[in-house]
Amino acid sequence: MLRLFKPRSRKQIARIEINGAIAGATRKRVLEALKTVEERKFPALLLRIDSPGGTVGDSQEIYSALRKLQEKVKIVASFGNISASGGVYIGMGAQHIVANPGTITGSIGVILRGNNLERLLEKVGVSFKVIKSGPYKDILAFDRELTDPEKIILQDLIDISYSQFVQTVAESRNLSNETVRTFADGRVFTGEQAVTLGLVDRLGTEEDARRWAAELVGLDPEKTKCFTFEEKKPLVSRLTSNKSLITAINTVPGLSAGVDWLEFELSTSGLPLWLYRP
């Protein structure tokens, strides 16, 4: 007699972690994991976010993929130590959000940074000759001040991106744009405050979020396990064959994370960021 068995994934909860600054590598990894969640027909997804935010486009792509996945999968986001700015934006892709009472969240807004090294370059006798096709092609060049027209262009860019952020939060949390703008001024707040504002559904740990996800799809919270999509090792560990160097990096608190952050800073200079910067 032929028996039909449910795939094991139907009895498990998928789990994806988003850690650190959100950029291209994070986007690629998370989108691939979300595709697998859909293909393997996991009934629920636990999305653990511990991030200060990141680039606008990458955050938007992850959010869009999560919203599409909502049609087939129940998604519960768990905000960890910090889930701010772009981390909040991604969290809006979940139907439900849980945060610790002391989670640092918020920082809803957009920032764009440029570095002006003009005075330093003058001291060392360095100058640049620029040939450009239009007056704004070298906007945010590091060897000169911004012009007033350039400031207007960049402010318009930031304002549009900010409006997109506000609209997403408003739609996802069933709030009005006006309500969101009352707290979307770049400030950060605790998980407890976020519940009061309507940004988060309830307070709790990641374990509480896991149990909620199980209950939403009719699984036993006591027995249901998570299948975690593992994050690849940091680039510095994968490319380095020197065991002593790897050991040294791993024994210095925060050094590996510092290398990743430096890569992020260098690769996103001049880009609009949804990023909490303490």
Q: Active-site residues: which are they?
A: 85, 137
Look at the chain and count its residues: 278
Beta strands in 33-180 (DSSP E): 44-51, 53-55, 74-84, 96-99, 104-106
Nearest alpha carbon to residue 54 among 65, 43, 62: 62
Q: What Cα–Cα distance (Å) separates residue 46 from each residue in 12, 96, 97, 227?
A: 11, 10, 10, 10
Which helix (H) or strand (E) is 202 found in, with range?
A: strand 202-203
Residue 211, SS3 per DSSP = helix
Residue 252, SS3 per DSSP = coil
Alpha-carbon gap, residue 32 to 178, rounded angstroms: 35
